[in-house]
């Protein structure tokens, strides 16, 4: 897949109140779509439907690309936007704060899922190593424990 290029529209200056309003409304709509996608992903990960959550990645990437392009245009025209549509700029700020809170929750859920899955894999690998280690006694009369450096391959059946 090729890298998305920024469109000339992304860097275009604001040409008046209508153009300013269109940009902010478009960004608000885009943020709504991003919020819905992130909330959907959070719900799917919490429900343990990681495959379905991974299917949202292309949509999230496209929305993030468009959001970045629009915010760059917004930053380049901040003065004009504040002058032409100050109430929409305030609404955009509030929406952005809400988005940040939801994104933090999403990141915490993803980090938790990552830690749990890593723990499961490490536990399975340790159990496999323990079961394949020789069950013998050492010089002290106690059973030998597997070496911490013993790494055996682990295979997973991902069919559901």
Q: Over the stretch 124-142, which tens digit does the pLDDT of each residue have?
A: 877 777 776 667 767 777 7
Residue 153 is assigned to a structural domain of this protein? no
Q: What global pTM score does this model have? A: 0.68
Give the pLDDT confidence of 72-124 residue by residue, as tens digits. 988 888 888 888 899 999 999 999 999 999 999 999 999 999 999 888 888 88
Which one has a higher pLDDT value, 1 or 111? 111
Closest residue by Cα to residue 35 from 114, 99, 109: 99
CA distance 133 to 77: 66
- Residue 51 sits in which domain range? 9-132
Residue 145 is assigned to a structural domain of this protein? no
2 — pLDDT class (breaks 50, 70, 90): very low
**Helices and strands, counts by H and E, the chain:** 6, 0
Residue 21 is assigned to a structural domain of this protein? yes
26 — pLDDT class (breaks 50, 70, 90): very high
Question: How many domains does the structure of the chain reveal?
Answer: 1
Residue 126 is assigned to a structural domain of this protein? yes
Give the pLDDT confidence of 51-61 residue by residue, as tens digits. 899 999 999 99
Torsion sign (Cα): 129, 135, 140, 142 = positive
User: How many angstroms from the chain centroid is the CA of residue 33?
Assistant: 14
């Amino acid at each position: 897949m090729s890298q998305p290029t920024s469109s000339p529209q992304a860097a275009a200056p604001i040409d008046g109140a209508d153009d300013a309003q269109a940009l902010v409304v478009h960004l608000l709509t885009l943020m709504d779509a991003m919020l819905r996608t992130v909330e959907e992903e959070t719900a799917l990960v919490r429900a343990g439907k990681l495959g379905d959550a991974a299917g949202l990645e292309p949509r999230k990437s496209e929305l993030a690309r468009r959001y970045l392009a629009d915010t760059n245009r917004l930053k380049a025209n901040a003065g004009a936007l504040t002058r032409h549509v100050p109430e929409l700029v305030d609404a955009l700020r509030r929406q952005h704060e809400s988005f940040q809170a939801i994104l933090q929750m999403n990141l915490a859920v993803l980090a938790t899922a990552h830690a749990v899955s890593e723990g499961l894999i490490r536990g399975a690998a340790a159990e496999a190593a323990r079961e394949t280690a020789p069950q013998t006694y050492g010089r002290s009369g106690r059973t030998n424990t597997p070496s911490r450096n013993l790494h055996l391959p682990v295979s997973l059946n991902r069919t559901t």
